[in-house]
Amino acid sequence: MSVSEKIDSFLQAHYGERETAVYRDLTLNLKKLLEDSSLDAKEGFMNLAALARSLHWSDLEKFAGGYLKETGLSDAEVEECFESAAIMGMLNTYYKFKSYLTADVLADPAFQRAGLRMNALSKPLNGKQNFEMMAFTVSVLNGCQTCVVSHEKALTTLGVSRDKIHDLARLASVVKGLSGLNVNL
């Protein structure tokens, strides 16, 4: 079964015969990003897995994780895609909190370092570039400006194209939109 057929099958099982204009726009955008964008299928589905976990969308997790296992990712590598959402959820929440503070509060020594353990970021199983892509995508979804800027810079330093960075942000946006149509989340 092709990627397109797998996506169609997931959408059919999840949304049935829905045919609203919004649904059509969102699903066409999803298919384009996963089939015909600067992201290869593995990158698209790794990020889809991280987004699914961020949104607590178990059916999408199973879909993305199943596809990744079919492509040869180990259980540990697939789990890292899901867990990237967890570590970024922690960091996005913390750095978004810091963005609300005034300069005088931030000058206080108590706020000079996060003091949060993040060793998982140092040697990811899926490689630094893939992890940074998932961190960026989840940060876009979670709306953390500090993390979006940081991970965009890391991706640029790693040689990831602007087109790919833009497609990652668009993927986060489309998946968030689709989740809004899902009453079963």
pLDDT score of 28 more than 80: yes
User: pLDDT at position 183, please?
Assistant: 61
pLDDT of residue 71: 94
Res. 3: pLDDT tops 60: yes
| φ/ψ of residue 163, rounded to 5 | -60, -45
pLDDT at residue number 46: 98
Q: Residues, the chain, total? A: 185
Q: Which of 60, 85, 147, 178 is catalytic?
A: 147
Q: How many CB atoms lie within 10 A of CB 164?
A: 18
Active site residue 144: yes
Domains and CATH numbers, the chain: 3-181 (1.20.1290.10)
Residue type, 126: N
Q: What was the pLDDT predicted at 137?
A: 98
| CB within 8 Å of 129: residues ≥ 6 apart | 155, 158, 160
pTM across the whole model: 0.94
Q: Which residues contact 90 (CB under 8 A, 6 or more apart)?
A: 116
Give the residue from 128, 132, 140, 126 showing the smallest Cα distance to 171: 140
pLDDT in tens, 109-160: 988 888 888 887 788 999 999 999 999 999 999 999 999 999 999 999 999 9
Active-site residue (options: 7, 73, 135, 144): 144
Q: In whole angstroms, what is the distance from residue 155 CA to residue 79 CA?
A: 22
